[in-house]
Amino acid sequence: MLQPTDRRPAAEPALGNFDSLDYVTVTIGDQLLGLPIGRVHDVFIANRITLVPHAPAEIIGLLNLRGRIVTAICLRRRLGQPVTLRQDRDGKTELVAVGIDHEGEAYALIVDAVGEVMRMDRSSLEPTPVHLDRSWAALATGVHRLEDRLLVVLDVDAILALDLHAAA
């Protein structure tokens, strides 16, 4: 009797390649950051945000993403950077967002820009440098050295670990 086999086309990469790490890259200022691809669900432009009174400064509001209420977190603020807003040609504020689910809740990380997906060799992941700003180091799991800069790998769980009870 024949047994079922994996009929995935040869050109399709196998899931669970343990020799590489895949990241969705984003930027804050000139810094390239990596979000583990398995944590990212959407990349979108947020155009209508409802402010939340008395929320921590990192939470810039709530938005509706295909009928789902999403908490918008400003990654610039979370990393201790000054906030700058981009406007489109009509003067409307554009917010580039990366959608993430965490413990059953939906979040949008507001970033300056979203780049490409990068596949990095697992062996090139280095510990977070000791000279990295403490607020950044607390939210990073390591770095990859690229030709001209570092790719700082972000810890999504640490980014979303806001002290909401203290803010209330």
The Cα–Cα gap between 129 and 95 comes to 30
What are the sequence ranges of the domains in the chain?
21-163
Across 103-129, average pLDDT: 95
How far is CA 77 from each of CA 104, 115, 116, 160, rounded to the nearest angstrom?
23, 20, 23, 12
* Model confidence pLDDT, tens digit, residues 52-108: 999 999 999 999 998 999 999 999 999 999 887 666 666 677 799 999 999 989 999
The two three-digit tokens of residue 28, written as one number: 């804050």
Contact 61, 76 (CB under 8 A): no
Of the candidates 168, 130, 139, 151, the residue with the CA atom closest to the CA atom of residue 25: 151
Report whether pLDDT(147) > 90.
Answer: yes
Across 30-47, average pLDDT: 94
Whether pTM > 0.85 for this model: the answer is no
* Residue 63 CB partners (closer than 8 Å, separation 6+): 46, 48, 49, 50, 69, 70, 72, 97, 108
Stretch (H or E) spanning 44: strand 40-46
Which neighbouring-strand residues pair with 25? 34
**DSSP secondary-structure letter at 160?**
T
The residue behind tokens 């024949």 is: 2
**DSSP secondary-structure letter at 8?**
-
Q: Beta strands of 78-127 (E only): which ranges?
A: 86-87, 93-102, 105-111, 113-121, 125-126
* Model confidence pLDDT, tens digit, residues 24-36: 999 999 999 999 9
Mean per-residue pLDDT over the chain, rounded:
85
Across 139-149, average pLDDT: 95
Q: How far is CA 168 from the centre of its chain?
A: 25
**What are the backbone angles phi and psi of residue 166, rounded to the nearest 5°?**
-65, -35
Architecture, CATH, for domain 21-163 = Beta Barrel (2.40)
